[in-house]
A and B are shown apart, each in its own frame.
Chain A
């Protein structure tokens, strides 16, 4: 019992200390980070003021990431739900083959694809368009999304659709009014994972977007670090980290259950 308490404490420290250190850094003046300050001096909100009054102001990057995240999530679900449904209606051989290919794609380290995707973006004029990012993001998250939603469709009792068929509902009506409400929890889990992926994605956003006001959050933060050759402005950067993490923190606290369900469903099925 005492051992478990110690283990929990260790886990908490391990997970939270690096984050708390960012919070602490973001509230300290530059000189207070380098040499100890007496008493209560050395605390400041200047780091936050600095990044919020930057050009463009920091909230712009938060907005960009939110827009890309929402668009990617919508596009992924729009494509994945019909695909997962259609997949369940295929003969077992086709289904196994496609599922295997989807699993391979889900595991694939997508950073390998960046160069060809960049070429595509240039050819079709998609570079420096924020919403265009949702095309590769949807493509990259589709394998996992289809697998998760496919498992959800498979769990539904087959009589459900048979009776809907007897009622004379066509495919679209069955999908929209009978099946969709029932796979809502799986769709929510999937959507959250897609959103997290899009919010955090780095190599593609790095190569597709170069205009400062269109940067997504991870790229903007990496740029803050690269802005000075000799020293990273850690105070401003830490403030950016804190602001950039808050939406995710909120998301994790509110949606812990569906996110965990999404992550583990993939393994259980």
Chain B
């Protein structure tokens, strides 16, 4: 009887999550593009063979991993510092928490454009500063070496508050008498951070990394609006590639294959994370 109460929600969940993935599995074994008149025609494993030989797919995989790796690492580091700062009790804490959370609350699409203007060459404020120092304006968004770093910066700016909040919840769950006992035995604050705070924070950090890594691998809005994947495809991610395959090249079969390729990558990384956590937990026990 009570199982019935869960049914409407579970049905919608199946429709939104399971049906698409099954559909991609089916589509990835079909040619469905302008060439076939947008009708699905079975093509054996041609899409998958193409995927394996597709340099653009592999380049995008590397670029996606590069983006996700650096962003999540920075978010974890800055987020930890921010969480420690927010954890201390003082008068302005609530206000500071609201303000730090603002970047997270605003639509990615909105600030993606904001960053484009901030790093504009030569009129943006960053380049105004650069020029005020007597240097020539820098082509932040038209050089492959720097553009992906701007994308990382924009992502770190937006999602660090979220990571900080998760870590803050972890900090607040640590009983204060642990620290008192540690101090009584002559431990310094730096040792307390390493021996008490960080180990107890691990489950929260793990959850934050899992969530952020999955989202960063699927980065789409930010890249589509900030760089469009450019310059010269240097910031194109897998999600953008599959989007372009479907919406610009009208190749639905291949787009579905790219998405499944990304899904496999995601599963692999999650497995590595889970194994890593088990190893870390085992190392402590």
Contacts and interface: CB of A to CB of B under 8 A. Distances in A.
Interface of A: 4, 7-8, 11-12, 14-16, 18-19, 21-22, 25, 33-34, 79-80, 82-83, 85-87, 89-90, 98, 105-117, 119-120, 135-136, 138-140, 142-143, 146, 171, 196, 199-200, 202-203, 207, 217-219, 221-222, 225, 232, 234, 237-238, 241, 244-245, 248-249, 251-253, 256, 259-260, 263-264, 267-268
Interface string B92-122: 1010111111110111111111111110100
B170 to A, nearest CB: 7
25 contacts: A8-B85, A8-B92, A14-B157, A21-B114, A33-B123, A79-B8, A79-B12, A98-B6, A105-B13, A107-B214, A111-B243, A112-B20, A112-B263, A115-B24, A117-B20, A139-B12, A171-B2, A218-B110, A221-B107, A232-B113, A251-B105, A256-B101, A259-B101, A259-B105, A264-B166
Nearest to A199: B107
A139 B13 contact: yes
B105 A196 contact: yes
A40 B68 CA distance: 44
Nearest to A135: B12
B225 A83 contact: no
Contact of A142 (B12, B118, B214, B263): B12
Interface of B: 1-6, 8-10, 12-13, 15-17, 19-21, 23-24, 81-82, 85, 88, 92, 94, 96-103, 105-118, 120, 123, 125, 157, 161-162, 165-166, 168-170, 173, 204, 207-208, 210-211, 214-215, 217-218, 220-221, 225, 239, 242-243, 246-247, 252, 255-256, 259, 262-263, 266
Given A83-B9, A113-B17, A139-B16, A90 B2 contact: yes
Nearest to B252: A115
Contacts, number: 219
A135 B110 CA distance: 24
B101 A221 contact: no
A258 to B, nearest CB: 12
Given A15-B103, A200-B107, A140 B16 contact: yes
Contacts of B243: 111, 114, 203
B106 A109 contact: no
B221 A253 contact: no
Contact of B114 (A109, A111, A140, A241): A241
Contact of B108 (A33, A200, A245): A200
B67 to A, nearest CB: 13
Contacts of B125: 21
Nearest to B90: A4
Contact of A82 (B9, B20, B102): B9
Contacts of B118: 18, 21
Contacts of A107: 210-211, 214-215
